[in-house]
Amino acid sequence: MALIVQKFGGTSVGTVERIEQVAEKVKKFREGGDDIVVVVSAMSGETNRLIDLAKQISEQPVPRELDVMVSTGEQVTIALLAMALIKRGVPAVSYTGNQVRILTDSAHNKARILQIDDQKIRADLKAGRVVVVAGFQGVDEHGNITTLGRGGSDTTGVALAAALKADECQIYTDVDGVYTTDPRVVPQAQRLDKITFEEMLEMASLGSKVLQIRSVEFAGKYNVPLRVLHSFQEGPGTLITLDEEESMEQPIISGIAFNRDEAKLTIRGVPDIPGVAFKILGPISAANIEVDMIVQNVAHDNTTDFTFTVHRNDYQNAQRVLEQTASELGAREVIGDTKIAKVSIVGVGMRSHAGVASRMFEALAKETINIQMISTSEIKVSVVIEEKYLELAVRALHTAFELDAPSRQGE
């Protein structure tokens, strides 16, 4: 008999009919003899509706009161799901984050989980009940309701699985697993049976939207096997695990991630003196702007060109800061480009295979795609290219690294 934590997102519980379908799915698992803890989000659109209500009162609602308000969305879902299970003859009980005692810090709207009291849940499981827990929320040491921010329900699910030492944490979503790349861009993309936490973290940070980074980090830290499954289609999904043993047989590359939300800034003709990188990036960091890739070129005249990328939403702000820095340093000019994209290949197999980067560059060269910037780590290579070539690049790399589905390869 296994202990499984199942998490269902907003679209999976978006209507009463869908909640009934989730109840049917949970009932089947329960009949198979497994102990089940279910974590649910608010019904899709509900959190946004509550935030809009708050903003009708105040443009910037007090964070504590906003948490009190938005946490009610999940409270509705847990009660409805518990009712649907009980109607089907499955003993069930619902709990808010406060009732389970998911203890967090006091950072309202983006709290971090510190500790979970699992005694109440264990007692219910022992009594044969399915336990339904509100995702996305907790309580601080002063008894204030807190919420965990974006992807909070995924994090709740993983944290509960870690606390209960569950056999598996299943994340139900609107896709049937993690794919080698976005099937909308490459129809030949394949669902991966298995991927490591490390690869999934890279994929998530590089633009793959299947799982929130925080939940993957948490799962990796506590070694909680994660499985991504489709809410309403049968299938094995994708298992995310620490296990790298099979990587010898797997392709060198597990997936290709891409991100359109990039912009590039270059400051030209900066005096090449010690500490110049800090003088450029210090003010950017102080403006709370995250920098991604960095390239520095030194010219013969003892000046340097310094290029970096930021999120496209931060571009104008970063440009303003950089213009100010340029005038202070006596730089020649600041130029920018918002029509770029980042493409990355990811795979633990890179550790034991040489020549992966050159194979990537060769595939792009064959399509006459110019590489503007390069960044590497142990298990990834990222390049910045013109945005108009993004889909062509992803398809070319997918084929070059033999990731196309075998039956459709070469179509």
For the stretch 305-334, pLDDT in tens is 999 999 999 999 999 999 999 999 999 999
**209 labelled as ligand-binding?**
yes
Higher pLDDT pick, 327 / 411: 327
Greatest Cα-to-Cα distance within the chain, rounded to the nearest angstrom: 80
**388 labelled as ligand-binding?**
no
Structure confidence at residue 248 (pLDDT)? 46
Structure confidence at residue 246 (pLDDT)? 52
**410 labelled as ligand-binding?**
no
**95 labelled as ligand-binding?**
no
DSSP state of 370: P
Tens of pLDDT, residue by residue over 7-62, are 999 989 999 999 999 999 999 999 999 999 999 999 999 999 999 999 999 998 99
State the residue for tokens 């990834």.
Answer: 380
Give dist(CA 135, CA 112) in Å, integer.
13
**367 labelled as ligand-binding?**
no
Q: Give phi and psi for 255, each to the nearest 5.
A: -165, 165
Tens of pLDDT, residue by residue over 184-201, are 899 999 999 999 988 888
Q: Which amino acid is at 258?
A: F
Please say if the pLDDT value at position 177 is more than 60: yes
**35 labelled as ligand-binding?**
no
CATH of domain 3-174: 3.40.1160.10
Question: By three-state DSSP, how is residue 237 classified?
Answer: coil
Please say if the pLDDT value at position 245 is more than 70: no
Of 1, 132, 117, 126, whose CA–CA distance to 74 is shortest? 132
| Cα–Cα distances in angstroms (integers) from residue 391 to residues 91, 256, 299, 394, in the given order | 50, 11, 34, 5
**275 labelled as ligand-binding?**
no
Structure confidence at residue 351 (pLDDT)? 81
Structure confidence at residue 250 (pLDDT)? 57
User: The tokens of 171 are what?
Assistant: 């994340």
**120 labelled as ligand-binding?**
no
Structure confidence at residue 411 (pLDDT)? 40
Q: E strand or H helix at 394, and its extent?
A: helix 390-400
Please say if the pLDDT value at position 126 is more than 90: yes
Strand runs labelled E in 72-225: 92-95, 102-104, 113-116, 130-134, 137-139, 145-147, 168-173, 194-196
What is the overall mean pLDDT for the chain? 90
Write out the DSSP string of 117-138.
--HHHHHHHHTTPEEEEESSEE
Q: Which amino acid is at 2?
A: A
**172 labelled as ligand-binding?**
no
**179 labelled as ligand-binding?**
yes
Domain regions of the chain by residue span? 3-174
Q: Beta partners for 381?
A: 345, 376
Q: Are 78 and 135 in contact (CB under 8 A)?
A: no
Q: Are 225 and 165 in contact (CB under 8 A)?
A: no
Higher pLDDT pick, 73 / 173: 73
Q: pLDDT category, 243, cuts 50, 70, 90?
A: low
Give dist(CA 236, CA 243) in Å, integer.
17
Structure confidence at residue 203 (pLDDT)? 85
Contacts of 76 (CB under 8 A, 6+ apart): 42, 43, 46
DSSP state of 158: H
Give dist(CA 411, CA 401) in Å, integer.
16
Q: Give phi and psi for 409, each to the nearest 5.
A: -60, 135
Tens of pLDDT, residue by residue over 331-388, are 999 999 999 999 999 998 888 788 899 999 999 999 999 999 999 888 999 999 999 9
**347 labelled as ligand-binding?**
no
Tens of pLDDT, residue by residue over 247-271, are 445 568 889 999 988 999 999 999 8
* pTM of this structure: 0.82
Structure confidence at residue 410 (pLDDT)? 42
Please say if the pLDDT value at position 84 is more than 90: yes
CA angle 344, 347, 352 (to 5 degrees): 125
Q: Are 102 and 114 in contact (CB under 8 A)?
A: no
**325 labelled as ligand-binding?**
no
Q: What is the mean pLDDT of residues 161-173?
A: 94
Structure confidence at residue 26 (pLDDT)? 96
Structure confidence at residue 326 (pLDDT)? 93
Q: pLDDT category, 297, cuts 50, 70, 90?
A: confident
Contacts of 258 (CB under 8 A, 6+ apart): 181, 182, 185, 206, 207, 341, 342, 343, 344, 390, 393, 394
Please say if the pLDDT value at position 148 is more than 70: yes
Structure confidence at residue 244 (pLDDT)? 59
Structure confidence at residue 210 (pLDDT)? 73
